[in-house]
Amino acid sequence: MGGYEDETRLRCVDSTGTCAPVVLKEQLSEPRRNETARCFLITITPQSLRLISFALTMKRQNIRTLVLIICTFTYLLVGAAVFDALESKMEITQKKILDDRKRELMDKYNLSKVNFDELERVVLQLKPHKAGVQWRFAGSFYFAITVITTI
């Protein structure tokens, strides 16, 4: 600043914690004697100016990053609320329909709860094998691509 290698500046802080502008010590015509202000000297070198500039730049980048994170989480929360509102009613309706169908089948075939649960478990275990072998090279390759793109 100003081409000086070493400038001494004075900064005053009042009782509210606000800072007065930085002024050169030599620019003061008389010492400031204010009971509500505390003054301290700052020695500014080109290195300290670079450090201050770097710190301010980092603060701006941190603020941008924080804003981006907040926006992302807000977007996720709004998306979750929308999906919850759209899908939860349908899911509850489908569960009720399936429970009614389950009771209907138990009554029709005179199955006890234990027998029906066993039949249900066997059917669920057979279902994946009905389509044939799924872990062929193409399916495995697709799964690997899905894992990489998800991460």
Host domain of residue 4:
1-44
Instruction: Decide if 51 is inside a domain.
Output: no
pLDDT digits (tens, 9 = 90+) for 84-115: 888 888 899 999 999 999 999 999 999 999 99
Place of tokens 């066993």: 118
First-to-final CA distance of the chain: 48
pLDDT in tens, the chain (151 residues): 444 444 445 455 455 555 555 544 444 444 444 445 555 556 677 787 787 777 777 777 788 888 899 999 999 999 999 988 888 888 999 999 999 999 999 999 999 999 999 999 988 888 777 767 767 888 889 888 988 888 6
Judgement on whether residues 38 and 1 belong to the same structural domain of the protein = yes
Do 68 and 39 meet the contact criterion of CB atoms below 8 Å apart?
no
Judgement on whether residues 118 and 83 belong to the same structural domain of the protein = no
Instruction: Decide if 49 is inside a domain.
Output: no
Of residues 48, 42, 4, 1, the one with CA closest to residue 25: 42
Q: Kindly report the three-state secondary structure assignment for every residue of 59-102.
A: HHHHHHHHHHHHHHHHHHHHHHHHHHHHHHHHHHHHHHHHHHHH
Instruction: Decide if 70 is inside a domain.
Output: yes
